[in-house]
Amino acid sequence: MAIDRVKVRKEAEKFQASGRLDKAIDCYRMLVDDDPKNLGLMNTLGDLMAQANRPAEAADVFRRLAIAYERDGFAPKATAILKKAVRSAPDDMDLMQRLADLYRQTGMIRDAVATHLQVAEAFQKKGLVKRALEEFGKVVDLDPKNLKNKIKLADLFNKEGMKDQAAAIYLEVAESLGMEGKAAEALQIVDRAKAMTTAPQLFLSQSRLAVMANDYAGASNALREGLKANARSVELLEALAEIEIRGNNPDRALEALAQVPQLPEKDLALCERALKQMVGAGRGEEGLRLFSPLGRELARRGMSDTVTRAVASAIKEKPFVEAWMYLAEVAQQGGNANEQIYALQNAHQLASQAGDSRAMELAKEQLASLGATPDDQPLSKPASFQTSAGFQALGSAGASGEHTRGGETEIDPLKRLKVDQFVKQGEAFARSGSNDRAVEAYKQALTLDPANFTLIEAICTIHRQAGLLTRVQQQYLQSAQTVHGLGKPKEATFLLDKAEQLFPGSTRIHRRTMGLPDYNAQAPAMQPVAPASPAAPPAPAAIALPAAAPLTYSPDAIIPLDLPDLDQAPAVGTPAGGFNPSAPTPAPFALPPAMDAIPMPPPAMETMPLPPMVEPLGADDFTMPPTPTVPSPMPPAMPPTAPVVALPDLPPLPPAAMAPTVPAPFTPEPFTPEPFTPEPAMAMAAGVEIPEKLQDLLSDIDFQLDYGSPEEAKAEIDAALEQFPGHPELMGRAAKAEEKLQKLGHGSKAQALGEEDFANSFFDLTDVLGSALEDSGEGEEMHDATKVVDKVQSVDELFDAFRMGVEEQVKGDDYDTHYNLGIAYKEMMLLDPAIDEFKKVLRDPERTLECCSMLSICEQARGNMDEAIAWLQKGIQAPGFPPEDSIGLRYDLGDMYLQMGDRSAALQEFRAVHDLDPDYRDVAAKVQ
């Protein structure tokens, strides 16, 4: 039954004013039941219940109201409501847990930690230890640097009888204290763990604490003690090998690695470092004797190439005969005869220099068994004898950065421990949902170990899960630049390839700057009918037909080629009017001496040169012409990449050549054309060499000509001509670019985007559009919109065309997409379009505060401080929002006043923020 809402509302206000709260509550309950979506009335009802000392009912109303706000995506409002609910029912642990989760979602970490601690202590008092452990675990994840909370969690685990978990946390705390220089406190915590466990982790932590004190002997003793309790523990043996290498005891390191069961491939890096250390100390033969069993076992398991690479790198500075003989043995195990011959030739050469006749004879005998001799031309160095090849062991790299490759020095142990600390913090932040803080922790670790691919992937994974593909690409690019600066071009190429897979074409400028090869750069694949000689034309006449097969003549039969672009295709085949079997066969002409002869066609089949065409032929164009036409002879066609060259006019054929031919025995009438001089673009057919750098430039230019902008292609050609003046390949492409520009109706402006502008202009707008452009029935319209983009020649025109397409596709009330577009434009510093988008979103009352903040930021970036302040004030004064929601706007307003020198106005705003939340950012310091 409908109610008179106006009347009931007046009665409720009347009862409320007179202090009759129970009556007022009844009236507001009627209004809420009649309109359950009116959240404002529900809030008023909850406040009245709290005033009337009905806390349970008030908490229930506030709970429903907070859930509604949270469901609609208004986490700050839900947080404010839950605060009131908790005040009404402080013993309701469910409300407290919900409030802590909302604090975490809104970035109020300190409040979240305090609330979780409060809940944990409440559970602990009630004897609910397991639930208390869960809450303390959340506290540790939110604030991994707080060691006191970790110790509380470990104590709880110990009390519950969960010794292993308690010991692991104690040891983690001990290492953190050691990193802070608190050795005494760290040892006390280790003593607690000793009473609980003898697991390898205990002795690893002891060794790390010793390393922090630069006591490698103590670290070694701790690990050897651990091996007594944990025989053949892989973790302890690997750590012992590392410590012995650091302590200049490489023989002990190899002895420790020999005890590792099924030695993993990644441990070859330790073997190589130990062997290299012994070779450098003049103990190469002893080191090889210790390493040989390990290498043979790995080679037997199919890792002979890796073993070869490690040994070759270790002996690179001081090679000796026994090492080369051992490499020959490993190559034989791997079944690689070329590597075996290469190693034996080097062994024979060194033995000859040292006068070791026995080794010379042994190497000579083994070479003879392979059909080679020491005097043979030395083989080129096989790939396995090269040093490391980029991120080889990425799949096995651990989070601690143990991804170093053979032959390289691993990062300092103390630095690696710091990396471990940051990684653990990042993992904890990620578990708690604090992605920004997790990324920050991983980046701190990356500054210590910039070539750690595991850390790079951890950062990219967080961005990828959040849908921020542009940030993923930027991380790959930044890391590529960093590792390239460290002298690791292969790793840089690997990272650039990862970025290229996300956004094709986005790394070309970076590759050029670093001098790295293009992504997946390959020579153009040969056409199926292309002849073997580069000068021979890919004409149908060059296809050898089976002798017994009868020849049939039809238009379809003489167009067997799949030509990608008639503008680039060789001029072969059929005249524009079609094929006429009764037309006379033209006489052959002499070729220039440097060119191969063109295969002659079968007697009954003729081919006529195809004149240059602007548009490709359609099916209707192949009609029988009324009279036969005699084409002019032409030189051999160029490869598909070369432009068509205009040839000089030739004199008319003699009358004999004009006479009709009979398919009888074919006897062509020879004639000699006018002297022919190849034009510059044809020089490639004669074997002009292209430098590797020019090949990379030509690849970029071809990409622009085929898929991009002729203007940019022309600009790249002009830049390339400064380095390679007058090169025929560049001149040919310049002519093609001019031709395309003329077809578009304007000359070449040659005003391409600079490299720096191009690099900064790249932004993936598909990240922010989401699925707004993927509604059914709109694909055809978007296809039409992209046609506009194909015709633009500058960034401004491209962006205008993009905005036109977006405005046609995105609905006016799709505030999420408009808001995301505004954010994208702002990040690209396209402030005017960003402001337009945010003003559109202002129509949504729920986004008022967000839009006012964004508009203020944009106006501030434009230098309009008055407008920026006005937008912040408008957001603060917006009706319908609790004061807590505008706390960020007030802080920004105070900061802006401070920048303008108005300290009194700034202090007023900061005090208002401090009254709402004393822990908000650094407002306490600003007020003081």
* Tens digit of each residue's pLDDT (9 = 90 or more) over 389-398: 444 333 333 3
157 phi and psi angles, rounded to 5 deg:
-60, -45
| Tokens read off for 216 | 């490698």
Given a cut of 60, whether residue 80 has pLDDT beyond it is: yes
Given a cut of 80, whether residue 234 has pLDDT beyond it is: yes
589 phi and psi angles, rounded to 5 deg:
-130, 160
787 vs 381, higher pLDDT: 381
CA distance 605 to 558: 10
How confident is the model over 79-84, as a mean pLDDT?
84
Beta bridge mates, 671: 589
Give the highest mean pLDDT range of 385-389, 605-609, 652-656, 717-721.
Answer: 717-721
CATH 1.25.40.10 range(s) for the chain read: 5-158, 394-514, 773-927
How confident is the model over 909-926, as a mean pLDDT?
84
Buried b (16+ CB within 10 A) or exposed e, 19-51: eebeebbebbbbbbeeeeeebebbbbbbbbbbe
178 vs 791, higher pLDDT: 178
| pLDDT tens, position by position, 530-541 | 333 343 444 443
Given a cut of 90, whether residue 585 has pLDDT beyond it is: no
Residues 6+ apart with CB under 8 A from 17: none
Compute and round to an integer the Cα radius of gyration of the chain. Answer: 39
Q: Return the residue matching tokens 């000392």.
A: 53
What is the predicted pLDDT for the residue at 216? 85
Given a cut of 90, whether residue 202 has pLDDT beyond it is: no
CA distance 405 to 269: 6
CB atoms within 10 A of CB 468: 18
What is the predicted pLDDT for the residue at 752? 41
Q: Which helix (H) or strand (E) holds 42?
A: helix 39-51
| pLDDT tens, position by position, 109-159 | 888 888 888 888 888 787 787 888 888 788 787 777 778 878 888 887 887
- The chain-wide mean pLDDT, for the chain, equals 72
Best CA proximity match to 352, nearest among 340, 342, 364, 343: 364
Contact 598, 590 (CB under 8 A): no
CB atoms within 10 A of CB 336: 18
Given a cut of 70, whether residue 555 has pLDDT beyond it is: no
| Tokens read off for 517 | 């090869």
pLDDT tier at 52 (50, 70, 90 boundaries)? Answer: confident
* Class of the CATH domain delimited by 773-927: mainly alpha
pLDDT tier at 460 (50, 70, 90 boundaries)? Answer: very high
Q: Return the residue matching tokens 């990040």.
A: 827
What is the predicted pLDDT for the residue at 336? 85
Side chain identity at residue 732, one-letter code: G
Contact 767, 804 (CB under 8 A): no
CATH of 394-514, one of 1.25.40.10, 3.30.1240.10, 3.40.50.920, 1.10.150.120: 1.25.40.10
What is the predicted pLDDT for the residue at 445? 86
How far lies 776's CA from each of 255, 781, 805, 808, 820, in Å? 67, 11, 16, 14, 21
Side chain identity at residue 39, one-letter code: L
Best CA proximity match to 24, nearest among 66, 59, 69, 54: 54
| pLDDT tens, position by position, 482-496 | 988 888 888 888 999
Given a cut of 90, whether residue 456 has pLDDT beyond it is: yes
Q: Return the residue matching tokens 């507001």.
A: 28
What is the predicted pLDDT for the residue at 596? 40
Helix (H, G, I), strand (E, B) or coil at 589: strand
What is the predicted pLDDT for the residue at 393? 39
Contact 104, 113 (CB under 8 A): no
Given a cut of 80, whether residue 822 has pLDDT beyond it is: yes
pTM for this entry? 0.46
What is the predicted pLDDT for the residue at 123? 84
How confident is the model over 258-263, as a mean pLDDT?
88
Give the highest mean pLDDT range of 21-30, 468-477, 553-562, 737-746.
Answer: 468-477
Residues 6+ apart with CB under 8 A from 517: 493, 511, 696
Given a cut of 60, whether residue 778 has pLDDT beyond it is: no
pLDDT tier at 870 (50, 70, 90 boundaries)? Answer: very high
Q: At what angle do helices 129-142 and 147-159 cross, to 10 degrees?
A: 160
What is the predicted pLDDT for the residue at 290? 92
Counting residues of the chain whose pLDDT is more than 90, the rounded percentage is 5
Side chain identity at residue 155, one-letter code: D
What is the predicted pLDDT for the residue at 745? 55
What is the predicted pLDDT for the residue at 459? 92
Helix (H, G, I), strand (E, B) or coil at 671: strand
CA distance 16 to 167: 60
| pLDDT tens, position by position, 348-364 | 888 888 888 888 889 88
Q: At what angle do helices 903-916 and 887-899 cross, to 10 degrees?
A: 160
Given a cut of 80, whether residue 612 has pLDDT beyond it is: no
Exposed / middle / buried, residue 186 (Cβ in 10 Å: 0-12, 13-18, 19+): buried
Q: Return the residue matching tokens 């930044």.
A: 478
CB atoms within 10 A of CB 622: 17
What is the predicted pLDDT for the residue at 22? 81
What is the predicted pLDDT for the residue at 396? 36
770 vs 263, higher pLDDT: 263
What is the predicted pLDDT for the residue at 254? 92
28 vs 607, higher pLDDT: 28
Helix (H, G, I), strand (E, B) or coil at 701: helix
| Tokens read off for 97 | 């847990």
Q: Return the residue matching tokens 């670290």.
A: 219
What is the predicted pLDDT for the residue at 655? 47
Given a cut of 60, whether residue 728 has pLDDT beyond it is: yes
Given a cut of 70, whether residue 444 has pLDDT beyond it is: yes
Sign of CA dihedral 303, 306, 309, 310: negative
> What CATH number does the domain located at 5-158 have?
1.25.40.10
Given a cut of 80, whether residue 18 has pLDDT beyond it is: no
CA distance 65 to 85: 10
How confident is the model over 785-813, as a mean pLDDT?
56
pLDDT tier at 692 (50, 70, 90 boundaries)? Answer: low
Give the highest mean pLDDT range of 250-259, 424-433, 822-831, 844-853.
Answer: 250-259
| Tokens read off for 152 | 């509380």
Residues 6+ apart with CB under 8 A from 508: 518, 700
Best CA proximity match to 449, nearest among 403, 493, 499: 403
What is the predicted pLDDT for the residue at 611? 44
